Structure 1
């Protein structure tokens, strides 16, 4: 029995130039133009805490070894209600609770600037509690007159 080639194997049909590799038309590129990064409340909170913590670490030597951590909620409430932060001096840790800080605040203007000021104020108050000082004492001298 002789083996014979079929016509399709000997001469494959040519696709028109407008088709892609698999015969599909008009495929878009895999990589789209750059989109703005997703900006979530969690990321904004982490950024505000991180920038305030770095500022305080650079201004106060006592805070250079302190870890600033973010948690969603405290494990339990205390006699004063829901805590906004926990200061652990023995472990050199300050834990800020995102949900109580964001949700239990009463902002007179609900915008990004005031929310960031609220978060940074909480970081300053927690650091002041850690240092056993007044929060207004934590800023450098050049900001005292404004």
Structure 2
């Protein structure tokens, strides 16, 4: 009679045939579609352009650190110069930018994403310059050196 030595180790795992996937199935389609790209609207692009320009100005000018940059769709009424693009409320430390007049009434020599963003940033710079009573080119000369 032959005695076998008892084995304490677990049995070797069984290998699946190559035609199966990781979970034993292959060739099935996914249940959900691949992730869609994030929504990118004009409002989102406008908000991003205003936010980045405002953060640059706040970091460069200590006088603007407590100023609130706000976005509104339209001004309540036109003034003697036409439809305003922004309103500066120095006593309340607020700058309100009006999205629709900036986007629709500004004339671009080239209508592409870069020039639209530069137009929005330029409006933020001009509004901040009005708040500080300075020339807009004094606010960030290094920012536009390569344009």
Query: Shorter-normalised TM-score: what interval?
Result: 0.7 to 0.9
Structure 2 alignment gaps of length 5 or more: 1-27
Q: For each residue in 1:59-79, what CA deviation from the matched residue of structure 2 results, as whole angstroms up to 9, or x when unmatched?
A: 000000000000000001100
TM, length-normalised to structure 2:
0.76
After superposition, the Cα gap between the structure-2 partners of 1:132 and 1:111, relative to the gap in structure 1 and judged at 3 Å, is same
Residue aligning to 2:3? none
The Cα shift of 1:102 comes to: 0.4
The Cα shift of 1:34 comes to: 1.7
Structure 1 alignment gaps of length 5 or more: 1-25
What is the aligned length? Answer: 119
After superposition, the Cα gap between the structure-2 partners of 1:37 and 1:144, relative to the gap in structure 1 and judged at 3 Å, is closer
Q: Which runs of 4+ in 1 moved over 6 A?
A: none
Is 1:115–2:125 an aligned residue pair? no
Residue aligning to 2:129? 128
After superposition, the Cα gap between the structure-2 partners of 1:134 and 1:69, relative to the gap in structure 1 and judged at 3 Å, is same
* Matched ranges for 1:1-146 at <5 A: 29=31, 31-140=32-141, 142-143=142-143, 146=146
The Cα shift of 1:32 comes to: 3.3
After superposition, the Cα gap between the structure-2 partners of 1:144 and 1:97, relative to the gap in structure 1 and judged at 3 Å, is closer
Structure 1 counterpart SS, 2:91: coil
Q: CA RMSD in A?
A: 1.8
